[in-house]
Copies of this chain bind each other. A is one copy, B any other.
Amino acid sequence: MDHTIPEIVIGRLPLYLRELSRMAGESGKIKTSSHELAQRLGISPAQIRKDLSHFGEFGKQGTGYHISYLIERLTDILHLNDEWPVALVGAGFLGQALASYRGFQRRGFAITCVFDSDPAKVGVKAGGLVVQDAATMATRLREAGIRIAILAVPADAAQATADALVAAGVGAILSYAPVSLTVPPGVSVSYSDPVVQLQQMTYHLSIENE
Q: Residues of A at under 8 Å CB distance from B?
A: 10-11, 13-15, 17-19, 22, 40-42, 77-80, 82, 84, 86, 93-94, 96-98, 100-101, 103-104, 107-109, 147-148, 150, 169, 171-172, 174, 178-180, 182, 188, 190, 192-207, 210
> Nearest-CB distance from A56 to chain B (Å)?
15
Whether the Cβ atoms of A148 and B194 lie closer than 8 Å is no
- Collect the chain B residues with CB atoms within 8 Å of residue A147's CB: 205, 210
> Nearest-CB distance from A74 to chain B (Å)?
9
Whether the Cβ atoms of B14 and A78 lie closer than 8 Å is no
> Nearest-CB distance from A206 to chain B (Å)?
8
Whether the Cβ atoms of B201 and A188 lie closer than 8 Å is yes
Whether the Cβ atoms of B108 and A199 lie closer than 8 Å is yes
> Nearest-CB distance from A129 to chain B (Å)?
14
| 25 chain-A/chain-B pairs, Cβ below 8 angstroms | A10-B203, A11-B200, A13-B203, A18-B179, A22-B179, A42-B180, A77-B203, A78-B199, A78-B203, A79-B203, A79-B206, A80-B199, A80-B202, A82-B207, A84-B202, A84-B205, A93-B97, A101-B194, A107-B199, A109-B195, A171-B205, A174-B197, A188-B201, A190-B197, A192-B192
- Besides A42-B182, A147-B205, A190-B198, 6 more A-B contacts (Cβ < 8 Å) are A10-B200, A10-B203, A18-B179, A19-B180, A103-B195, A169-B210
> Nearest-CB distance from A161 to chain B (Å)?
17
